[in-house]
Structure 1
Amino acid sequence: MDWLNAGNVIAVLTALLGLVASFAAVWYERRVPRRRRIGYRVQMDIPIGNDNRGGPGQENIRSGLFNDLPDMADATLALLRIENYGAESIAESDYTGRNVHGLTAVFTDRTVRGMAVTTSHDDEHLMDHFTPAGGMRHEDNTIYLPRVPLNHGQHYKLLVLLTGGRVGRDIRVVGGIREGIVRPNRGIPVDDKPPLFSRPARWITILLTLCVIGLAGIILISEDAPPPIGCATGKLTVNGSTGFSEVMKAVAKRYQSDCPNSTITVDAQGSNEGFQQLKDAGGNSALITIVDGSRTENLAQEMREERVAVSAFALVVNDDVPVRSLTVDQIRKIFRGDILNWNQVGGLVDRPILVVSRFDSSGTRRLFDQRVLGVKNEREVTVAGCEPDVAQAGLRRCERRDTKQVLSTVAKQPGAIGYSELQTATAVQGLHILEIDGRAPSLEAHGSNAYPFTGIEYAYTYGKPSSDSLTSSFLYYLTRGRGQDVMEDSGHPPCYKPENLERCQQ
């Protein structure tokens, strides 16, 4: 799945976002605006009485009818605009009320004393509907408006003379419209220019523009961006430790993603076997060997050693064994054959022990023998194929080629015990990890309190690789580049990070 990278994922998501925005625009244009809509807004609401109900200041000056009419002391004047601002026309039959009138205009806390209806010159025919027979009347604080048919954009206005409450009190228009709504809307002030696009159109345009810019940026970056400094091309094989192989596969995958045109194959068959392959291949091969623990005691002059990371290893037992911790002394007796049954170490179960070890070419076995058993060689194999006979007496011991085979056998065989790299073991079902001397596997403690079964992963090359080779580039990436982050995320502290330098010298 080479296409599944960050750039392609972003490109696909951006394209989908553009499609969604386009469909949303079509849906909005076809569905939302085409609902029948009557909008209203108050264009004027002012006091004309002499008691200044509009607020502090000098009294209003009136003359003529405004001065002669009674009850003008608290009078106010309101101008209300009612319009069809939807995309569909509104007919008389579209008003859903049961009464003769279609809408009502309510002026909170005020009394309607008089009103006048106005329309534009082109819409004078609308005035024929404002008759008592059409339901036109006013009572107390309410004006009853007839069922006026309105095409898109048509409107009429009510100039209303009121007495009572202050200006600014709530003015509402209520009523029902088939497949539509009646609601306040906002007008454009006289001095303002109407926008070229509606608000939804502006947002959709911005969104689509960002999508196009994002796609263009991805194309430019993917086409023109050079690989990171230090990248090399070619083919490389990494062999050696099976316990560290999953980490190396993750680092190799990251390198190939960062550095195109490079092919890195992880072919782990064991530390000793990988080390021997490196010796046999000589200096002409593109080969790096990962080994659990150092090989300085028999390191040929041509070999070059590089510390990589710290690893924790673990003893594992089948889940049918109710033991959670063993002492180093008990572990040694089990692997020597002095303890043959789990009931001899407080297991509370009569279960023969099956010791599952690694081939003698394994770096993990070498580390286990040094750090835990304190011996150079383990006992001989007594169970062929790790399938013990029920009646077999004495030490039951078998060997497996790699870490996965050890873990699979321990998880399958009742009473089995083995060892493995910690992170790999935690992902296997059917077994659990043992504490050693009451200490769980960890890389945190140091000195006398340190967990004993830990070791350093080393990288070996035959001679010093050429500075422009893939071997040199990948080795640097692994030990000092982004490969450190991959190892740390996998639970292996990189040796060349400052906080781990002291630990890797031990």
Structure 2
Amino acid sequence: MAKRKMVLGVLTMVVLALGLGACKRNDGQSITIVGSSALQPLVEAAGEQYSNDNLGVFINVQGGGSGTGLSQIQEGAVGIGTSDLFASEKTGIKASKLVDHRVAVVGVTPVVNKKVNVKNLSISQLRQIFTGEITNWRQVGGKNLPIVIVNRAQGSGTRATFERWVMAGQPAIAAQEQDSTGMVRQIVASTPGAISYMAFSYVDKSIKPLAVDHVAPTAANVHTNRWKIWAYEHMYTHGPARGLNKRFIDYVLSNNIQNTLVKQMGYIPVRDMRVERDVNGKVTAVRGNE
């Protein structure tokens, strides 16, 4: 009987130890990340990988646009707010209360339906299309086909990036607007004559990207600012990043993620840039890469 009790006692200790070990691995931690749809695929992929490596940690990633990400982090409603914009660019955001973590660069390209037989537009032509001055593809060397504009919704960081570097302060003509980049891609792919714009990371074989002023939308051209339609991808925290927020941001910035997921998914590591661009648009060479 004493031997049986001893065996049961040992088994109980083993079970308790295993239970404590499981609790250590599965602590139920979670963070919610909201904002940029351009950055969303990368954060989702990194979040899934991080959760697989850290049992019990859940990374909840949502879109909604850069404006939503900035307002939500300012209110303290989420752990991290993602944005294609500097916080100081957004009206109503107190940038001094937020801490910026630049995790990648995203190029933005105009895209068209594959049946549009145009491969290149000048920046002036692109602007005139979105202001409504050019309404048919034959006006820019294509076939007789009406142009159908698909815009991103107000508050989208991708839209703000496109408008800043393409529209030069001119308002875009009223057109259908979409919150989701995935929906934009679907509409452009299925609508003859359609044109829109999106992050490089969303471009697939269902649509066609356009060169601008005979410069191709590639990462190499973004590196040197030959392709000017690009933005930093920011992760903002309310005050310094701490706890799981900090660990996850550090994970996204790690060599492993920057050299694998970031590049594989069509984003550009900040460290690969040969120029820097500040909130006012001033471009300077990165030290050591002049």
Give the structure-2-normalised TM-score: 0.80
SS at match of 1:493: coil
8 Å CA contact 1:235, 1:286 repeated in 2: no
Q: How far 1:241 moved relative to its partner?
A: 1.1
Q: 1:424 aligns with which of 195, 202, 205?
A: 202
- Counterpart position of 1:65: none
8 Å CA contact 1:308, 1:457 repeated in 2: yes
- Counterpart position of 1:360: 154
Cα gap change, 1:437 to 1:253, in 2 (>3 Å): same
Q: How far 1:365 moved relative to its partner?
A: 0.2
| Letter aligned with residue 263 of structure 1 | F
8 Å CA contact 1:271, 1:363 repeated in 2: yes
Cα gap change, 1:344 to 1:245, in 2 (>3 Å): same
| Letter aligned with residue 432 of structure 1 | K
| Letter aligned with residue 269 of structure 1 | G
Q: How far 1:480 moved relative to its partner?
A: 3.2
Q: How far 1:488 moved relative to its partner?
A: 2.4
**Is 1:258 aligned to residue 53 of structure 2?**
yes
Q: How far 1:501 moved relative to its partner?
A: 7.2
| Letter aligned with residue 366 of structure 1 | A
Cα gap change, 1:260 to 1:277, in 2 (>3 Å): same
Larger radius of gyration, structure 1 or 2?
Answer: 1
User: Which 4+ runs in 1 deviate beyond 4 A?
Assistant: 446-449, 501-506
- Counterpart position of 2:38: 243
Q: 1:318 aligns with which of 113, 138, 149?
A: 113
**Is 1:378 aligned to residue 172 of structure 2?**
yes
Q: 1:291 aligns with which of 54, 79, 83?
A: 83
Cα gap change, 1:501 to 1:449, in 2 (>3 Å): closer
SS at match of 1:488: helix
8 Å CA contact 2:113, 2:191 repeated in 1: yes
- Counterpart position of 1:77: none
Cα gap change, 1:232 to 1:480, in 2 (>3 Å): farther
Q: Hey, what's the Cα distance between the residues in 1 that align with 2:274 and 2:124?
A: 31
| Letter aligned with residue 413 of structure 1 | T
Q: Hey, what's the Cα distance between the residues in 2 that align with 1:286 and 1:447?
A: 32
SS at match of 1:360: coil
Could you list the runs of 5+ residues in structure 2 that have no partner in the other structure?
1-20, 284-290
- Counterpart position of 1:100: none
SS at match of 2:111: strand
8 Å CA contact 1:465, 1:471 repeated in 2: yes
Q: Hey, what's the Cα distance between the residues in 2 that align with 1:339 and 1:292?
A: 28
Q: How far 1:250 moved relative to its partner?
A: 0.9
8 Å CA contact 1:370, 1:376 repeated in 2: no
Q: How does 1:135-150 map to 2 (within 5 A)?
A: none
**Is 1:269 aligned to residue 61 of structure 2?**
no
Q: Hey, what's the Cα distance between the residues in 2 that align with 1:367 and 1:446?
A: 14
Summarize deviations over 1:132-153 as a string: whole Å, max 9, x none.
Answer: xxxxxxxxxxxxxxxxxxxxxx
- Counterpart position of 2:127: 332
Q: 1:453 aligns with which of 229, 248, 252?
A: 229
Q: How far 1:354 moved relative to its partner?
A: 0.9
Q: Hey, what's the Cα distance between the residues in 1 that align with 2:231 and 2:222?
A: 13
Q: How far 1:320 moved relative to its partner?
A: 1.8
Summarize deviations over 1:11-55 as a string: whole Å, max 9, x none.
Answer: xxxxxxxxxxxxxxxxxxxxxxxxxxxxxxxxxxxxxxxxxxxxx
Summarize deviations over 1:46-85 as a string: whole Å, max 9, x none.
Answer: xxxxxxxxxxxxxxxxxxxxxxxxxxxxxxxxxxxxxxxx
| Letter aligned with residue 472 of structure 1 | K
**Is 1:494 aligned to residue 289 of structure 2?**
no
**Is 1:434 aligned to residue 210 of structure 2?**
yes
- Counterpart position of 1:346: 141
Q: 1:408 aligns with which of 183, 186, 204?
A: 186
- Counterpart position of 1:23: none
Q: Hey, what's the Cα distance between the residues in 2 that align with 1:267 and 1:296?
A: 22
Cα gap change, 1:322 to 1:478, in 2 (>3 Å): same
Q: Hey, what's the Cα distance between the residues in 1 that align with 2:97 and 2:252?
A: 21
Cα gap change, 1:234 to 1:414, in 2 (>3 Å): same
8 Å CA contact 2:31, 2:60 repeated in 1: yes
SS at match of 1:445: helix
Q: Hey, what's the Cα distance between the residues in 1 that align with 2:66 and 2:41?
A: 14
Q: How far 1:316 moved relative to its partner?
A: 0.6
Give the structure-1-normalised TM-score: 0.47
Q: Hey, what's the Cα distance between the residues in 1 that align with 2:224 and 2:248?
A: 36
Q: How does 1:32-51 map to 2 (within 5 A)?
A: none
Q: How far 1:293 moved relative to its partner?
A: 2.7
Higher mean C-alpha deviation, range 237-246 or range 369-378? 369-378
Q: Hey, what's the Cα distance between the residues in 2 that align with 1:454 and 1:350?
A: 31
8 Å CA contact 1:232, 1:259 repeated in 2: no
| Letter aligned with residue 264 of structure 2 | D
Cα gap change, 1:271 to 1:232, in 2 (>3 Å): farther
Q: Hey, what's the Cα distance between the residues in 1 that align with 2:113 and 2:98?
A: 40
Cα gap change, 1:346 to 1:503, in 2 (>3 Å): same
**Is 1:482 aligned to residue 256 of structure 2?**
yes
SS at match of 1:444: helix
Q: Hey, what's the Cα distance between the residues in 2 that align with 1:464 and 1:376?
A: 37
Q: Hey, what's the Cα distance between the residues in 2 that align with 1:501 and 1:437?
A: 21
Q: How far 1:261 moved relative to its partner?
A: 1.3
Q: Hey, what's the Cα distance between the residues in 1 that align with 2:274 and 2:60?
A: 29
Q: How far 1:360 moved relative to its partner?
A: 1.0
Q: Which has the higher contact order (CA 8 A, sep 6+)?
A: 2
- Counterpart position of 2:246: 472
Q: Hey, what's the Cα distance between the residues in 2 that align with 1:447 and 1:489?
A: 16
| Letter aligned with residue 240 of structure 2 | K
Q: How far 1:483 moved relative to its partner?
A: 2.9
